[in-house]
Amino acid sequence: MQETGKTAGAPALELRNITKRFGSVIANDRVSMELRRGEILAILGENGSGKTTLMNMIAGIYRQDEGEIFIDGKEAVINSPKDSHEYGVGMIHQHFKLIDVFTAAENIILGIKDGKRYNIKAASEKVREISSKYGFVIDPEKKIYAMSVSEKQTVEIIKVLYRGADILILDEPTAVLTPQETERLFDVLRRMREDGKSIIIITHKLHEVMEISDRVTVLRKGAYVGTVNTSETNEQALTDMMVGQKVELNIERTPPAKDYDRLIVEHLCMSSPSHDGVKILNDISFRARAGEILGIAGISGSGQRELLETIAGLHAADSGKITYLHHKTGELVNLRAKTPLQIRDLGIRLSFVPEDRLGMGLVGNMDIIDNMMLRSYKRGRGLFVDRQPPKDLAERIIDSLQVSTPGPKTQVRKLSGGNVQKVLVGREIAEAPSVLMAAYPVRGLDINSSYMIYRLLNEQKEKGVAVIFVGEDLDVLLALCDRIMVISQGTVTGMLDGRTAKKEEVGLLMTKGANGGAVNAPERETGSETEVKSKDE
Amino acid sequence: MNEQASAPRVRTRRQSLISITKRPAVPFVRAVAVRAVAILAALVIAGVVTILLTGENPISVYVTMFEGAFGSGPIIWKTFQDIAILLCTSLAVTPAFRMRFWNIGAEGQVLAGCLACAYAMYRFGGVIPEWLLMIIMAVFSVLAGAIFGLIPAVFKANWNTNETLFTLMMNYIAIQLVEFFLKIADKSGSNTVGPSILSHGWYPTLFGQKYLLNIIVAAVLTVLIFFYLNYTKHGYEISVVGESENTARYIGINVKKVIIRTMILSGAICGLVGLLIVGGTSHSIDSNIVGGRGFTAIMVSWLAKFNPVMMTLTSFLLVFLERGAGEVSTKFGFNASFSDIISGIILFFIIGCEFFINYQVHINAGRKRAGEPEKEVSGQ
Amino acid sequence: MIDGNVIVSFISRAVLQGTPLLLGSTGEIITEKSGNLNLGIPGIMYTGAISGVIGGFFYQNSVSRVNTALAIIIPLLCCLAGSLLVSLIYSFLTVTLRANQNVTGLAITTFGVGIGNFFGGSLIKITGSAVPYLSLSSIAKAFKHTLPFASKLGWFGELFLNYGFMVYLAVIIALVASYILKHTHLGLQLRAVGESPATADAAGINVTAYKYFATCIGGMIAGLGGLYYVIDYSNGIWSNDGFGDRGWLAIALVIFAIWRPDMSILGSYLFGALYILPNYTSVSLQSLPLFEMLPYVVTVVVLITVSLRKKREHLPPASLGLSYFREER
């Protein structure tokens, strides 16, 4: 599989037949690959293809079960991150490894053994030097808990540069960045390449691969698929390598089943309970209609998750209205400041598939039956829970959604990602919802599971459910949704028709509205709406 | 490309000898076997320690231990009484532990129950009818325990105040409150207030057996707590809150309410234990009357993986050790603290053996070839 | 009118009373900074005390005239060795075998107090003494050496110079610990381990080594607190359970000092003052226990205040009480 590259430069890092197992799961299966000096190598693969696990072995977080690692042609035995540092490898993890109560400078010098005396001032000075060299803006004395996500990432990158690493590994660095920040990061990476550093960037965004990398290594299901020169390939070819078969992003879309409003959100504001006063949702207004899928697009962390959680009753809004409309009676019900149980007691079937499946939607250590019971345990009189209905439901879902599990008594955490999601979505749909909200429901799922989720959402739409779908893949949003609401930094920057909207248009709106307020959103609904009075206000 | 055939390489560092992985699933038989081996090993070590100190032959040491727990009718009753009290205390802390609320204040909560009971006996004894006094004692004890559980729970629920440290401090507050009571109730300055002062409100002895009442209470409580935790809505809520607070919020469980409710329950049962101790058995109080059972109960509950049925076994084990070692120290003229040392050693083994149940240790004998099975070390 | 001499003697007694707490809490702070909540500290303090006593006892009984230097060094070394051994048991169980820290700590305390009282009792038996305690008067004399001119300097001498060397040692240890935690790589890395072992691990810090190191050093410092109490404060008299609940008070102090050894100096003297306050005021015998309750109540108040204010720097180390396993997935 080794291709004879045209680029000069000796191999900086070489992996030979690396295998890693977690219990009976094989995360990496005899992977061999090579990184050359002075290049940017993209590692491409779907979620769960073993990219991060592979890189974690180079970084010393895990140790391979089999195979060896060569650095500069010599075998490297990496048992710990310390070893990895000594070989000049620095990894920037997806989840930042920073200590909240430390300052940037303290985090940066943490673990350095250069024999010098502890001198935080000198360290801060050096941090400033590096920052100005690459164009970062960072205050070395600022505490991490007071920092934004991109500031934290900057700290992580400086941490690696400070150590003078020759080989840099970045695990999905752009997932949390705006396009502008991504551009800035890419500039830095190019400058580092000119310095002769070797860089691995893990991503599953094809356009970024095309833009930044010299070569691309593709992994699929833990195995090495191949390496190609970026200049000699295209997105289609890479996709084919990545998924193993040609993907027709052909999600069926039926016309909206109904044409009336079901959920009306007006001027909703919410500020973070933990960080004082930071507005996460700023004057959000929209209507979700029965029988349609409303997509919500935005850069990760723009408030999508909090919006759904606020509607579901998990956060207290500062101001604004959340109103549910009974179509038949015309009755308006206020949902704001109601807990999930109170909403349920009002007879409103609001289902919610949260982003964090095992941390919020399900309890990993409980079996499928007990997880089914989460929504229904209060039913029935008396002190005792009745496990028969959830058991029936569990069996029904396992059967109809083809959940692969030894049985309904299996702990949910032992299921694979796709099956976990099937269990969760199945439960939420089983409640026969009138509103179904789903946050990133296909994240980390394989193609087949993803399509099953799309199908389920469409089925709900056809039943007249108001579906709200928060997604990250624009192609999916454009193919699936009837309307797409774009939010940026907690404000609505646009409401588009899913059938006519252009990808570029959505992308542009996603990065808009940095200063709030003066966002030039297309006037579609919000402007012409009359104020809705809630029943109990 | 065959690396095994290549010439010896310069290796900068040796591969680490041992690597550890978490077991995906633990077979029941293995779990039981590891624990059995650990207990056996602990008994051997404890025996060796005893022999070194006494020069006795090992069999007679173990026989002595056995005699200490089961030597005669009265001894057996006393053993079961100790088990009953320890088991009840363990049952009390278990709902909180299932919720991941590290209540290490059982000692203080039980003591608060003892104090309230003693106070009721002291204050109302002889003034009101016995049956009324017994009711008041029960109400006071349960209430006092509940309040001692409630206070840290309120702060944990609302402000996430560290409950381990909070409940720990509450133990010493309870001790000093008891000392305060002793000074008031017995002006002579004695360290204990005995049956002569607490002469009323003694709970009846069933069938002439002083301890039978407590044993029955413990048995009933075990069944109740087992059903409460596994088959009631409250128990289900406790499990959800313990596993994931986010999930609890997501489905609309009022986490604060569950924390507070569960700690009231925990504390109330502790208070009940206090009632059993003072009103049911000793009819006296001193600041050491709980004697560390509140702490031992934590180990009982933890060793049983918070399962009430298993707790009957673990409390039995710990009481057996304590009484056995106590007998050894009496018989061979040791200081009574000898039993603490033996209990400590055995606990170390039991605590340590959990590792071999939950984790797998691999020894990397040199460099492994592809496909070569790894050696596995089990918990012996 | 309050007599000046009374105040001076009150403060100096508070210092004497606070010193075992200071050593105990400094040790526990160092331990907790690594993320280990060592509830075995009371047991370790007992073990440290009895180890030193055993060493001192055999030395005192083996020579006709004690050498001051040896009388100090032998008990000190024995104390350190004993505390180290018990700390190692705790570290092995919680760090290597990843056992629950609360349960392990409580077992250590049972064990350690048992060791103390068992060997204490046995030594008393060996001496065939009629009274239930053991006296190491000549060892105590060596420990209590003060500067010769201290008594000539009036109130100044009594307040600052009139203590055995361990009082100063305790303060020095606390100050050094405070400095190391705040101003050295070692301290930074130790704090990192306690805040987030995964992060520290990723930064190339040997989490296991730091946890062992901090727990053992912390245990040894705490053990000195036990030794000081017996040899210096109690004039070399060991009596079973004499140390009382000071070990738990030391753990309370950690909270009171918001995990800062320098704060612990003030805190321990304050707790010491609370301990002896009844002797200096006209407190009735009856309300004495309420006074003895004060340190715990104050600690609870501090614990609550800290959690109400939510100042990140004052909260317990984030991973306190949790064991760390790298391949967690």
Concatenated DSSP letters for C179-220?
HHHHHSHHHHHHHHHHH-HHHHHHTT--HHHHHHHHHHHHHH
Mean pLDDT of A8-37: 85
Residue A292 neighbours by CB distance under 10 Å? 24
Report how far Cα B336 is from the mean position of its chain's Cα atoms: 21
Instruction: Assign A158 to helix, strand or coil.
Output: helix
CA pair distance B96, C117, nearest whole angstrom: 33
| Cβ separation B13–A385 shorter than 8 A | no
Of C120, C303, C325, Cβ closest to residue B165: C303
| Cβ separation A375–B251 shorter than 8 A | yes
For chain A, positions 359-378, list CB contacts with chain B under 8 A. Answer: 359-366, 370, 373-375, 377-378
Residue of chain C with shortest Cα separation from B303:
C103
Q: Is residue C5 part of a domain?
A: no
Q: Is residue A199 part of a domain?
A: yes
Q: What DSSP string describes B296-327?
A: HHHHHHHHTTT-HHHHHHHHHHHHHHHHHHHH
A324 lies in which domain range? 257-347+432-532
Q: Is residue B377 part of a domain?
A: no
Q: Both A402 and A309 in a single domain? A: no
The CATH code of the domain that includes A511 is: 3.40.50.300
Q: Is residue B64 part of a domain?
A: no
A175: which DSSP letter? G
Residue A163: the pLDDT is 83
Nearest CA-CA partner of A301 in A188, A474, A113, A174: A174
Q: Is residue A3 part of a domain?
A: no
Nearest CA-CA partner of B105 in C241, C250, C94, C106: C106
Q: Is residue B120 very low, low, confident or very high in pLDDT (cuts 50, 70, 90)? A: very high
Helix (H) or strand (E) holding B134: helix B130-159
For chain B, positions 358-377, list CB contacts with chain A under 8 A. Answer: 368, 370-371
A143: which DSSP letter? B
Q: Both B106 and B251 in a single domain? A: yes
Nearest CA-CA partner of B178 in B124, B127, B110, B276: B110
Q: Both B159 and B296 in a single domain? A: yes
In this predicted structure, the answer to whether residue A534 has a pLDDT above a threshold of 60 is: no
* Mean pLDDT of all residues belonging to chain B: 82
Q: Return the exposure string of B97-128: e unless at least 16 CB atoms fall within 10 Å of the residue's CB, then b.
A: bbbebbbbbbbbbbbbbbbbbbbbbbebbeee
The pair of three-digit structure tokens given for residue C16, joined into one six-digit string: 């004497």
In this predicted structure, the answer to whether residue B7 has a pLDDT above a threshold of 70 is: no
| Cβ separation B299–C106 shorter than 8 A | yes
Residue B380: the pLDDT is 30
| Cβ separation C192–A111 shorter than 8 A | yes
Q: Both B129 and B269 in a single domain? A: yes
Q: Both B340 and B319 in a single domain? A: no
Mean pLDDT of B206-219: 81
Residue spans of beta strands (DSSP E) within A419-499: 435-439, 466-470, 483-488, 491-497
Mean pLDDT of A202-213: 82
The amino acid at C190:
L
Tally of structural domains, chain C: 1
Residue of chain A with shortest Cα separation from C182:
A118
| Least confident window among A132-141, A289-298, A525-534, B47-56 | A525-534
Of C188, C201, C312, Cβ closest to residue A81: C201
For an interface test with A, give the residue of C33, C34, C201, C208 to mutate (most A CBs within 10 A): C201
Q: Both B349 and B211 in a single domain? A: no
| Cβ separation B252–A365 shorter than 8 A | no
Name chain C contacts of B168, Cβ cutoff 8 Å: 39, 248, 251-252
Q: Is residue B63 part of a domain?
A: no
Name chain B contacts of C325, Cβ cutoff 8 Å: 20, 22, 359
| Cβ separation A99–C195 shorter than 8 A | yes
Report percent pLDDT > 70 for chain A. 88
Helices B130-159 and B163-185: angle between axes, nearest 10 degrees: 150
Name chain C contacts of B176, Cβ cutoff 8 Å: 289-290, 292-293, 296
B71: which DSSP letter? S
Q: Both B360 and B267 in a single domain? A: no
Of B160, B164, B184, Cβ closest to residue C37: B164
Strands A66-71 and A483-488, by their bridges, are unpaired
Q: Both A195 and A235 in a single domain? A: yes
Tally of structural domains, chain B: 2
Structural domain ending residue among the three candidates A401, A431, A461: A431
Mean pLDDT of B107-116: 95
| Cβ separation C300–B170 shorter than 8 A | yes
| Least confident window among A24-33, A428-437, B329-338, C142-151 | C142-151
Cβ burial, residue B375 (10 Å; 0-12/13-18/19+): exposed
In this predicted structure, the answer to whether residue B256 has a pLDDT above a threshold of 60 is: yes
In this predicted structure, the answer to whether residue B228 has a pLDDT above a threshold of 90 is: yes
For chain A, positions 53-112, list CB contacts with chain B under 8 A. Answer: 63, 66-68, 74-77, 79, 83
Distance to chain A for C199, nearest Cα, Å: 5
Asked if residue C70 lies in contact with residue C143, where contact means CB atoms within 8 angstroms, the answer is no
Residue B367: the pLDDT is 43
Asked if residue C139 lies in contact with residue C75, where contact means CB atoms within 8 angstroms, the answer is yes
Q: Both A298 and A369 in a single domain? A: no
The CATH code of the domain that includes C182 is: 1.10.3470
Asked if residue B138 lies in contact with residue C254, where contact means CB atoms within 8 angstroms, the answer is no
CA pair distance A315, A305, nearest whole angstrom: 11
Give the Cα-Cα-Cα angle B252, B254, B255 (nearest 5 degrees): 115
Phi, psi of A436 (to 5 degrees): -125, 120
Mean pLDDT of A2-16: 65
Residue B26: the pLDDT is 67
Q: Both B99 and B234 in a single domain? A: yes
Residue B34: the pLDDT is 86
B356 lies in which domain range? 12-55+335-369
Q: Is residue C307 part of a domain?
A: yes
In this predicted structure, the answer to whether residue A493 has a pLDDT above a threshold of 60 is: yes
Residue C186: the pLDDT is 92
Residue B25: the pLDDT is 64
Mean pLDDT of A254-270: 88
| Cβ separation B13–A83 shorter than 8 A | yes
Nearest CA-CA partner of C49 in C219, C238, C217, C214: C238
In this predicted structure, the answer to whether residue A470 has a pLDDT above a threshold of 80 is: yes
CA distances from A309 to A287, A354, A432, B237, B255 (A): 16, 8, 19, 21, 17
Report how far Cα A207 is from the mean position of its chain's Cα atoms: 17
Residue B72: the pLDDT is 80
Q: Both A297 and A396 in a single domain? A: no
Q: Both B156 and B194 in a single domain? A: yes
A279 strand-pairing partners: A271
Contacts of B141 (CB under 8 A, 6+ apart): B113, B114, B116, B117, B120, B271, B272, B274, B275, B278, B279
Residue A527: the pLDDT is 35
Report percent pLDDT > 70 for chain B. 88
In this predicted structure, the answer to whether residue A2 has a pLDDT above a threshold of 70 is: no
Asked if residue C244 lies in contact with residue B288, where contact means CB atoms within 8 angstroms, the answer is no
Q: Both A526 and A442 in a single domain? A: yes
Torsion of CA A183, A184, A185, A189, to 10 degrees: 100
The pair of three-digit structure tokens given for residue A166, joined into one six-digit string: 């020759």
Mean pLDDT of A72-97: 86
Helix (H) or strand (E) holding C24: helix C4-33
CA distances from A358 to A51, A394, A435, B97, B225 (A): 22, 17, 22, 21, 28
| Least confident window among A19-33, A162-176, B358-372 | B358-372
Residue A535: the pLDDT is 37
The amino acid at B234:
H
| Number of helices and strands in chain C (H, E) | 13, 2
pTM across the whole model: 0.81
HSE, side-chain direction, 13 A CA sphere, residue B31: 9
B257 touches chain A (CB under 8 A): no
Residue C151: the pLDDT is 67
Q: Is residue A249 part of a domain?
A: no
Contacts 24+ apart (CB under 8 A), C5-10: C5/C155, C6/C280, C8/C155, C8/C158, C8/C159, C9/C158, C10/C273, C10/C276, C10/C280
CA pair distance C53, C206, nearest whole angstrom: 35
Asked if residue C41 lies in contact with residue C24, where contact means CB atoms within 8 angstroms, the answer is yes
Residue C83 φ/ψ region, left for φ over 0, alpha for ψ in the -120 to 50 degree band, beta for the rest: alpha
More confident residue, A101 or B49: A101
B251 touches chain A (CB under 8 A): yes
A349 touches chain B (CB under 8 A): no
Residue B297 neighbours by CB distance under 10 Å? 32
The amino acid at C275:
Y
Q: Is residue A465 very low, low, confident or very high in pLDDT (cuts 50, 70, 90)? A: very high
* Mean pLDDT of all residues belonging to chain A: 82
The amino acid at A261:
D
In this predicted structure, the answer to whether residue A63 has a pLDDT above a threshold of 90 is: no
Mean pLDDT of B48-73: 78
pLDDT digits (tens, 9 = 90+) for B284-301: 888 888 888 888 899 889
Residues of chain C with pLDDT under 70: 1-2, 147-151, 153, 156-159, 326-329
The CATH code of the domain that includes B284 is: 1.10.3470.10
Mean pLDDT of B89-118: 93
Of C185, C203, C318, Cβ closest to residue A118: C185
CA pair distance C34, C212, nearest whole angstrom: 9
Tally of structural domains, chain A: 3
Chain position carrying tokens 């210092």: C15
Q: Both A416 and A441 in a single domain? A: no
Asked if residue C109 lies in contact with residue C95, where contact means CB atoms within 8 angstroms, the answer is no
Q: Both B278 and B309 in a single domain? A: yes
Q: Is residue B10 very low, low, confident or very high in pLDDT (cuts 50, 70, 90)? A: very low
Chain position carrying tokens 């698929």: A225
Residue B375: the pLDDT is 38
Q: Both B240 and B272 in a single domain? A: yes
Q: Is residue A2 part of a domain?
A: no
Q: Both A104 and A159 in a single domain? A: yes
In this predicted structure, the answer to whether residue A337 has a pLDDT above a threshold of 50 is: yes
The pair of three-digit structure tokens given for residue A273, joined into one six-digit string: 């309970």
| Least confident window among A141-150, B132-141, C46-55, C275-284 | C275-284
Q: Both B156 and B301 in a single domain? A: yes
In this predicted structure, the answer to whether residue A528 has a pLDDT above a threshold of 60 is: no
In this predicted structure, the answer to whether residue A82 has a pLDDT above a threshold of 90 is: no
C282 lies in which domain range? 11-323
| Least confident window among A175-179, A529-533, B156-160 | A529-533
In this predicted structure, the answer to whether residue A530 has a pLDDT above a threshold of 60 is: no
The pair of three-digit structure tokens given for residue C108, joined into one six-digit string: 């250590």
Asked if residue B264 lies in contact with residue B86, where contact means CB atoms within 8 angstroms, the answer is no
| Cβ separation A370–B12 shorter than 8 A | no
Report how far Cα A59 is from the mean position of its chain's Cα atoms: 22
Q: Both B128 and B259 in a single domain? A: yes
Nearest CA-CA partner of A353 in A343, A362, A344, A345: A362
Structural domain ending residue among the three candidates A431, A462, A478: A431
Contacts of B313 (CB under 8 A, 6+ apart): B304
Asked if residue B268 lies in contact with residue B149, where contact means CB atoms within 8 angstroms, the answer is yes
| Least confident window among A61-70, A325-334, A450-459, B24-33 | B24-33
A145 touches chain C (CB under 8 A): yes
Distance to chain A for B9, nearest Cα, Å: 8
| Cβ separation B295–C245 shorter than 8 A | no
The pair of three-digit structure tokens given for residue B33, joined into one six-digit string: 């076997």
The pair of three-digit structure tokens given for residue B285, joined into one six-digit string: 């109080």
Q: Both A61 and A189 in a single domain? A: yes
